[in-house]
Amino acid sequence: MHTFHPQTPDWEPRVRASFARQGLMSALHAVIEHIRPGELAITMPADPAYSQQHGYIHGGVIASILDSACGYAALTLMPADREVLTVEFKINFLSPARGSRFVAIGRVVRTGRTVTVCSGEAMAIDGDRRSTIALMQATMFAVPVTPGA
**Residue 36 confidence class, pLDDT cut points 50, 70, 90:** very high
**90-149 pLDDT, tens per residue?**
999 999 999 999 999 999 999 999 999 999 999 999 999 999 999 999 999 999 998 766
Torsion of CA 17, 91, 89, 52, to 10 degrees: -60
Q: Are the C-beta atoms of 131 and 124 separated by less than 8 Å?
A: yes
d(CA 23, CA 137): 23
Asked whether residue 104 is assigned to any structural domain, the reply reads yes
Q: Quote the pLDDT of residue 148.
A: 67
| Chain mean pLDDT for the chain | 96
Q: Judge whether 27 lies within some domain.
A: yes
Percent of the chain's residues with pLDDT above 70: 98
Q: Is the pLDDT of residue 23 over 70?
A: yes
Domain residues for the domain of 72 are 11-144
Q: Tell me, what CATH number does 38's domain have?
A: 3.10.129.10
Q: How many domains does the chain contain in total? A: 1
Query: Is residue 134 domain-resident?
Result: yes
Stated pTM of the model = 0.95
Quote the pLDDT of residue 1. 62
On the question of pLDDT at 38 being above 70, the answer is: yes
